[in-house]
Amino acid sequence: MTDFSLIETLRYDPEAGFVRLRLHLARLTRSARRLGFAGAAAAEARLQEAVRDAEGAMRVRLTLDRQGTIAVTTAPFAALPPDALWRVRIASTRLDSSDRLLRMKTTRRSAYEAARREFPSTEADEVLLFNEKGEVCEGTITSIFLDDGHGALKTPPISCGLLAGVLRTELICQRRARVARLFPADLEKGRLYVGNSLRGLIRAELVV
């Protein structure tokens, strides 16, 4: 399949600038190189241009296609309250751990969209996906983190078939998280979080 684009979704604050910008650009550049997409070098300039007149926090979405065409869209962003608690449920949809494209953020999102459709928004704020081996992978828009009381947060390895999330990368580099295979039973043995670069870490409650 070649009819897809790479995506980066960032948070912009007029005082602090783009949150985790270098990690977003590094992921985009790495994915573009691996897939043979042109144009990643122009991404930062396009992002800065898109927020030149921004007066408040923004959600900024950049796409890059195989021909090197970049598109940027913006929308106002409202942060979640610090005590936010998301209800999460488990999808029957499974990810294929051998699909290496799952490790990159792209517009090919059929599996995530199918998982999201399994539950109405009134029943779940996020939906978690496992792979064909029953290993925990990720949410439809978030990485998964587990605090089991033994030090750093645990987060699944990308070899299970999941995105190398920007927040996930930052927490691993800061040694606040470490890679560990997780199984369904593990999710009930500690404090569960989901998160992404746009919203940060969010406390989660597994609904079964």
pTM above 0.85, yes or no: yes
Q: Tell how far CA 114 is from the center of its chain.
A: 17
Confidence band of 1 (pLDDT split at 50, 70, 90):
low
For residue 120, what are its two tokens?
């109405």
Does 95 share its domain with 191?
yes
For 62-92, the pLDDT digits (tens) are 999 999 999 999 999 999 999 999 999 999 9
Alpha carbon distances (Å) from 143 to 36, 157, 171, 193, 194: 26, 11, 11, 8, 6
% residues pLDDT > 70 (the chain): 99
Q: Which domain holds residue 167?
A: 85-206
Q: Please check whether residue 126 lies inside any domain of the structure.
A: yes
Total domains in the fold of the chain: 2
Q: Tell how far CA 161 is from the center of its chain.
A: 13
Does 54 share its domain with 109?
no
Distance CA 95, CA 98 (A): 9
Q: Which of 31, 55, 76 is the last residue of a domain?
A: 76
Res 129: pLDDT = 98
- For position 24, which CATH number holds? 3.30.470.10
For 102-155, the pLDDT digits (tens) are 999 999 999 999 999 999 999 999 999 999 999 999 999 999 999 999 999 999
Does 143 share its domain with 191?
yes
Q: Please check whether residue 134 lies inside any domain of the structure.
A: yes
Q: Which of 17, 51, 76 is the last residue of a domain?
A: 76
Q: Please check whether residue 1 lies inside any domain of the structure.
A: no
